[in-house]
Chains A and B, each alone.
Chain A
């Protein structure tokens, strides 16, 4: 059976001032439709590189990336990205930021429908009240919510998130994780999310893709998170299976891929 998203023998070599740098070597990954994947690994191992190849922002040096059996060539709104630093345009309001994406992907739809779609997606992330604010006037967590709304509004085939909550404090991060789970339960998107937070990976994902250290990083292990949904962080805290899964990721990261830092 062919996968929805299929990375085959991906190599990535960067040309740097000090010569060639082989970041990824022979990365193979199959993702099914509606799956939520977490990509975890030590900083600098090549997680963003994998995600950017799927986004089309980078071209793999070798191998192919297929989405719905078609080769990925260049970026496009069917692979929406939520960037770590929100990357909202500061001269546009919250709703205008989302509208920019909606106008692009729903160019053929009437204006009223597009406006409603903007508000619908802001409601999904609980940001409709801030629709007319500018990014400079809202908190980091709220900006990230808007970034998610903008990505969701594109109705992407794959939603890509690069450490979306990495810059947030623990409490805000927990709120956003809950929102992501709530949205995922409603929309059942195919999601590839980079994180360096083990609890986040176990809480949110169906499978955890663990990457080895670079250079020439590749996928070390894949852990299936067979915790039933809906998941609640408080209940999971007492769940021995949750702790077992968490322990497996930690073991991979801190024993098998111990990083001398």
Chain B
């Protein structure tokens, strides 16, 4: 079996107003690979992640998950395999830490369980294990998430992504709202848990210095085009200058 997990082939996205956000983008994401996307504001990083998730439709091209093409109608083949981490955490405020984590399994639980808020014991146990894994074990998990610090909230976000045992995690600027030290800790956590659980990661970042230690591979985007796609170790100052000039 091929090592390719997700294949993005000739993808174009044009927003109303003739804005070319993605211009013929080709990316191969391998199993167990961590990729960072760098690029100035408006280069199309968020659009790329949203199209992979099926939150925006594409104008041209195909996306294959494990060699299966998925379009508007059969996103279900990826739902169980893709998890997401967000810049604004996107947690359900007024709900508890553990509830937010368990919600990562929302599509897998039966309707009546959801209606009466009865979650399977395995899910709850798993959530408690993951709480430990992301380093939230010294906080009462019944605490409401809006009372947590930004870093703690993103840890809950990571836990929510992990509970569904995904094959790939998509993260759109997961550390932009955090101070540098916390950002570093969070990226380390993502890398550590992804490697441990054999998860691929596609993560957009603004901090080039973080990208080099975080990712196996770095993709540079500018105005909807891919400028470079190289192993992190081989990224040169020259590449970055091209990107941000």
Partners in one complex: no
Q: Which residues of A contact B (CB under 8 A)?
A: none
